[in-house]
Chains A and B, each alone.
Chain A
């Protein structure tokens, strides 16, 4: 698979879950393991730009696809605006659900650059945060949306 732009090849057991493959075999521990039942969403990563729950995805299913994790959000040392928004608006406390929340938020803003509060809440409704009570997460995503509208993003040729 391609992970955060790097091609990796591994021999794995067929039953290996994507979350364990990313964490244990590839050493990218920003993606977390939280519930096994697709309820908590701390394991959300992108497969071909689609947010998926990696605790209920077999690693083999991601073979040949592009996987992006929280470690792939920062570009050349510059934080993604979503990451910046979470810092500015206190969108995280313990930080355990945060990578999954941010991956979903990034996917939302890529599809809908100016979401309403209701649209943001619906987008993250498959994920659980025990610390923040969600208001500051909503504000973080709104912060990022506003920032991106004010600062046109350069689209690279690639």
Chain B
């Protein structure tokens, strides 16, 4: 086992050139290794969902509601059915007759597959057409005549709980308002007591902070191909899913299909970011269509459908409060949140965590008390909530605390770096129980913070800023320090629809010493086929090139909950390491027989088993593999073969952290924000492949700049979605982001078998507050203490004029 010392710098991120070779040269294990996925993907030979082509395959298109809230008076589908290439036209009433019009969401709510009574958000699914080709299916949608009766929509989330607000969820028995759920964390009385004391003897800062609705918008939209085999009744579903096993179980529950007659195949996935966790009506429609027609049916969204109807992210209106001493010691944090969940509660979070892991809003600071209260409401907008690499709402939590710390720094006239350093949880306090009940596994925050400040040249930048301010130029430096809680999660209190959040892993070593490892998680670009081969290689000494990683096929992999919330390495990565150790233990017994020594006298190193004190006597894992499958006796009581399977239940989450510093320049004439530099120092514990880790961080930083400066899903008063294309929903290109600068520290997780923590979402969580803090810092000469995302030129300009308004 390799665990590096905390705080030790390794594998500095250098840029590859044709003249250097940065790849790790050792035959097995951790280090920079080129990805096993890439040779097929750079040739255009990946197989994504829309690339699946089956004989006789039909195409499905969905008719969506033009209104946000309306009763369906009638649907006339006769003209569509008469289209020569149309095979079926199905409405909500048709599904209702089969008891399939509604399906459970991942939050124990229900969602309409096709609307029966009324539509509850613009672009909700109303009917579908199956036709011979994709163009004809779309043509026939135009031939369906739906009569709607307008109902006033609930669009302003602040008015959703008004007594006279129209009731959106009248499908729920006894529902008399638009309240979705209430949630609380921490100790209200203790928190209020600290605030009362601070009002007398210290300082209290309060700010209203909006995290607007955004969308993951993966480059590949959602879709599937459903194929029900006529005789056996077996359904094969090629699907854009991050969680194939969880989906299989839900389909069994929804459609009443026996679970062993369902095979979910998640082929290559063109980005997920949480957008491909929920089950969308389109998937169910394609399954129904294939069942009814008896042919394979493909459904692929277009970009508009993806943006307007699938899982959005955020949409939190937060009031943050900090109580502190006058010299900057943070004592308590308090927040009240209004959460917009859209028309159905489609959040994909563990059942006991309706607000996800927002409870870690106390951040990286050692405080006396904390309390959060949240009301979640229904509105006439698309469902969703947990997506876009948010680590189950930690994006919102980190944004709140890191914005609030800067607000406190502003009022105290303290340097925001100094304020953070003064309040960090100290290394000797780990494991640290937060005031909202989260057990932080390990951390050493100051070295990461100092490293980021050194890398960016913090003191020099502050001097430059002072000079520029004298000249009237706008330059800002923004800091964010985050702690995440990832790797859901311990099955004692984490499940989705009753499914414990554990992950299985199976390892088979073939007679010639090559191996196959089967995972329950699924890459959407993270590089599982490489990383997991490296984990197994590190444990049993078979080179990663000789290990095939199988994933994304429920018929060929063990059960587990899939890839989201940065859980693959913390949960499935642990499973891979432990299953390899199980195989290694058996290999050691076989080695003892081969070497005629007792098991206790065999020592293992990098794929070779030796007799202690007699290093000449050794066998390799490859020798053992042949022996395990070959002729001749094995040690008594041992079965042949060399394979194992486990199901890993994590004892805790892992808590990666990082220090991010952003430098922006703002054109005072146009109010355009330019991100000049961004330094990210991350600590995800033991690093498996630093190249892949760096890539994960880069992507998240870009998302963060997008959210902070450009992205927002907005609506007009009637509930029309105004962000239904990539012309209206702006995503960063190479022009809007700088060349990223990354560094790291290494503080292993004490409970993870290899000391690794999740990294997939760290940068998405940490970067938005860094960028916003930089912009607000730049605007300090205007007396600005807070400004809400997205900080587009027009919104920055309004802020400079003293006319800042929340985006919603």
Same complex for A and B? Answer yes
Residues 185 to 230 of chain B near chain A (Cβ within 8 Å):
216-221
Measured CA separation A15–B136 after assembly (Å): 12
Is B695 in contact with A40, judged by CB distance below 8 angstroms?
no
Task: Name the residue among A29, A36, A71 with the largest chain B CB count within 10 angstroms.
Answer: A29
Does A112 interact with chain B (Cβ within 8 Å)? Answer: no
Digitize A118-138: 1 where CB-to-B-CB distance is under 8 Å, 0 elsewhere. 001110111111111111111
Determine the main DSSP class of B at the interface with A: loop
Is A130 in contact with B699, judged by CB distance below 8 angstroms?
yes
B273 to chain A, nearest CB (A): 7
Does B17 interact with chain A (Cβ within 8 Å)? Answer: yes
Measured CA separation A150–B219 after assembly (Å): 34
Measured CA separation A83–B38 after assembly (Å): 9
For A73, what are the chain B residues with a Cβ–Cβ distance below 8 Å? Answer: 43
Contacting residue for A30 out of B17, B38, B43, B524, CB 8 A: B43
For B273, what are the chain A residues with a Cβ–Cβ distance below 8 Å? Answer: 130
A70 to chain B, nearest CB (A): 4
Is A98 in contact with B41, judged by CB distance below 8 angstroms?
yes
Measured CA separation A118–B4 after assembly (Å): 38
Is B18 in contact with A126, judged by CB distance below 8 angstroms?
no
For A31, what are the chain B residues with a Cβ–Cβ distance below 8 Å? Answer: 44
Given A126-B733, A131-B695, A133-B699: A102 in contact with B219 (beta carbons within 8 A) = no
For B304, what are the chain A residues with a Cβ–Cβ distance below 8 Å? Answer: 36
Contacting residue for A143 out of B18, B50, B219, B691, CB 8 A: B18
Is A71 in contact with B699, judged by CB distance below 8 angstroms?
no
For A92, what are the chain B residues with a Cβ–Cβ distance below 8 Å? Answer: 38, 41-42, 525
Contacting residue for A71 out of B35, B39, B44, B731, CB 8 A: B44
B666 to chain A, nearest CB (A): 20
Given A30-B44, A99-B44: A90 in contact with B692 (beta carbons within 8 A) = yes
Measured CA separation A29–B51 after assembly (Å): 6
Does A49 interact with chain B (Cβ within 8 Å)? Answer: no
For B39, what are the chain A residues with a Cβ–Cβ distance below 8 Å? Answer: 87
Does B181 interact with chain A (Cβ within 8 Å)? Answer: no
For A126, what are the chain B residues with a Cβ–Cβ distance below 8 Å? Answer: 733
Measured CA separation A147–B19 after assembly (Å): 9
Does A109 interact with chain B (Cβ within 8 Å)? Answer: no
Digitize B677-711: 1 where CB-to-A-CB distance is under 8 Å, 0 elsewhere. 00000000000000110110111111100000000
Does A157 interact with chain B (Cβ within 8 Å)? Answer: no
Contacting residue for B525 out of A39, A79, A94, CB 8 A: A94
Is B42 in contact with A129, judged by CB distance below 8 angstroms?
no
| Identity of the chain B residue whose Cβ is nearest the Cβ of A147 in the assembled complex | B18
| Identity of the chain B residue whose Cβ is nearest the Cβ of A96 in the assembled complex | B270
Measured CA separation A56–B703 after assembly (Å): 26
A63 to chain B, nearest CB (A): 19
Contacting residue for A135 out of B703, B725, B727, B739, CB 8 A: B739
Task: Name the residue among B39, B134, B731 with the largest chain A CB count within 10 angstroms.
Answer: B731
Measured CA separation A15–B524 after assembly (Å): 33
Given A87-B38, A135-B698: A15 in contact with B731 (beta carbons within 8 A) = no
For A86, what are the chain B residues with a Cβ–Cβ distance below 8 Å? Answer: 38, 42
Is B726 in contact with A35, judged by CB distance below 8 angstroms?
yes
B331 to chain A, nearest CB (A): 38
Does A116 interact with chain B (Cβ within 8 Å)? Answer: no
Digitize B720-743: 1 where CB-to-A-CB distance is under 8 Å, 0 elsewhere. 000001110001011101011000
Does A74 interact with chain B (Cβ within 8 Å)? Answer: yes
Is A98 in contact with B269, judged by CB distance below 8 angstroms?
no
Is B18 in contact with A95, judged by CB distance below 8 angstroms?
no
Does B640 interact with chain A (Cβ within 8 Å)? Answer: no
Is A134 in contact with B737, judged by CB distance below 8 angstroms?
yes
Does B623 interact with chain A (Cβ within 8 Å)? Answer: no
Is B220 in contact with A32, judged by CB distance below 8 angstroms?
yes
Is B42 in contact with A79, judged by CB distance below 8 angstroms?
yes
Contacting residue for A128 out of B50, B525, B700, B726, CB 8 A: B726
Digitize B764-796: 1 where CB-to-A-CB distance is under 8 Å, 0 elsewhere. 000000000000000000000000000000000
Is B17 in contact with A146, judged by CB distance below 8 angstroms?
yes
Does B303 interact with chain A (Cβ within 8 Å)? Answer: yes
Is B35 in contact with A87, judged by CB distance below 8 angstroms?
yes
B310 to chain A, nearest CB (A): 14
Digitize B127-144: 1 where CB-to-A-CB distance is under 8 Å, 0 elsewhere. 000000111000000000
Does B37 interact with chain A (Cβ within 8 Å)? Answer: yes
Does A89 interact with chain B (Cβ within 8 Å)? Answer: yes
For A28, what are the chain B residues with a Cβ–Cβ distance below 8 Å? Answer: 44
Measured CA separation A135–B700 after assembly (Å): 12
Measured CA separation A16–B700 after assembly (Å): 36
Is A96 in contact with B44, judged by CB distance below 8 angstroms?
no
Contacting residue for A133 out of B526, B702, B735, CB 8 A: B702
Measured CA separation A149–B349 after assembly (Å): 51
Given A20-B134, A97-B219: A131 in contact with B525 (beta carbons within 8 A) = yes
A131 to chain B, nearest CB (A): 5
Does A139 interact with chain B (Cβ within 8 Å)? Answer: yes
Measured CA separation A131–B351 after assembly (Å): 29
| Identity of the chain B residue whose Cβ is nearest the Cβ of A102 in the assembled complex | B42
Q: Give 7 closest A-B pairs by Cβ, nearest first.
A: A30-B44, A94-B525, A96-B270, A95-B41, A133-B698, A93-B525, A70-B44
Enumerate 25 A-B pairs (CB-CB under 8 Å) in ascending A order.
A23-B50, A36-B302, A36-B303, A74-B43, A87-B38, A90-B35, A90-B691, A90-B695, A94-B525, A95-B42, A95-B270, A95-B525, A98-B41, A99-B44, A128-B219, A128-B731, A131-B271, A131-B699, A132-B695, A133-B702, A135-B740, A138-B739, A143-B16, A143-B17, A146-B18
Q: A29-B48, A133-B695 are in contact. List 20 more A-B contacts (CB 8 A).
A: A20-B134, A29-B50, A33-B300, A36-B303, A70-B43, A74-B43, A86-B42, A88-B34, A90-B34, A93-B699, A94-B525, A121-B735, A128-B219, A130-B218, A130-B273, A130-B703, A132-B702, A133-B737, A134-B734, A147-B18
